[in-house]
Amino acid sequence: MSTVTRAQLAETIYAQVGLSRNESADLLEAVLERISTALEAGESVKISGFGTFSVRQKGRRIGRNPKTGVEVPILPRRVLVFRPSQVLKGTVNGEVVDDDGEDS
Amino acid sequence: MTKSELIAALAEANPHLTGKDVETIVATIFDQISLALARGERVELRGFGAFTIKQRLARTGRNPRTGEAVPVDEKVVPFFKAGKELRSRVNKGAARTEPTRG
């Protein structure tokens, strides 16, 4: 499967906005960094038409080493979850979805 | 944080850009990720995470209200897996706000 990376995204910004390649890459990084900082603070990030990144608190539970069967405590932790919007779910299935079809 | 708050914060930090430019940049990023997924490609942003699609087989669902069986077609769903760095940043945020005991 072909993979899109920072380089291609920055190249598209460069082509669409007319910033320098360097600045396009910096702006992409700034976007990812802002999102990361908000999530780090436990805040949800909602990108309409795309999806919502949110942080979920997981409680302490007892896990098991599947190889040895030994019980190990899994400490409380926070995990990141991404919920795609209706628009994105439609797009990946080749549908054209109205923006109003977006879930909250 | 919403998309418009993200745009506003970036515009403030980059006064040499117009609000419209910043809007285009943010829209371009998410549009390109969506389009790549629609082409069946994966988007990998090291440190942040990877967007991929997962295949879901056709199944028989049920209308939860009536209990009626409804066929659900095969489909693909978007999936995001946080990168190592982001995963640990999110979890460290927890350590700061809720110190874990022993």
The CATH number linked to B83 is 4.10.520.10
With beta carbons less than 8 A apart as the criterion, state whether B18 and B4 touch: no
Provide the domain count of chain B.
2
Q: Is the CB of A88 inside 8 Å of chain B's CB atoms?
A: yes
Q: Does residue B55 sit in the same domain as residue B90?
A: yes
Kindly state whether residue B101 falls inside one of the protein's structural domains. Answer: no
Residue A1 has pLDDT above 90, yes or no: no
Whether pTM > 0.80 for this model: the answer is yes
Kindly state whether residue B100 falls inside one of the protein's structural domains. Answer: no
Segments in chain A forming alpha helices (H): 6-17, 21-40, 86-92
Q: Does residue B28 sit in the same domain as residue B49?
A: no
Q: Does residue B3 sit in the same domain as residue B35?
A: yes
Domain that holds residue B68: 42-95
Kindly state whether residue B59 falls inside one of the protein's structural domains. Answer: yes
Q: How far apart are CA A28 and CA A21, in angstroms?
A: 11
Q: Does residue B23 sit in the same domain as residue B63?
A: no
Inter-chain contact A40–B29, Cβ cutoff 8 Å?
Answer: no
If residue B22 lies in a helix (H) or strand (E), which one and from where to where?
Answer: helix B19-38
Q: Does residue B69 sit in the same domain as residue B33?
A: no
Q: How far apart are CA B82 and CA A69, in angstroms?
A: 28
Chain B CB contacts of A39 under 8 Å are 86, 89-90, 93
Of the candidates B4, B47, B7, B22, the residue with the CA atom closest to the CA atom of residue A6:
B47
Kindly state whether residue B54 falls inside one of the protein's structural domains. Answer: yes
> pLDDT tens digits, residue range A33-70?
999 999 999 999 999 999 999 999 999 999 999 999 99
Instruction: Give residues 23 to 52 of B whose Cβ lies within 8 Å of A.
Output: 24-26, 28-30, 32-49
Site of tokens 């995001």: B80
> pLDDT tens digits, residue range B46-95?
999 999 999 999 999 999 999 999 999 999 999 999 999 999 999 986 55
With beta carbons less than 8 A apart as the criterion, state whether A49 and B78 touch: no
With beta carbons less than 8 A apart as the criterion, state whether B96 and B88 touch: no
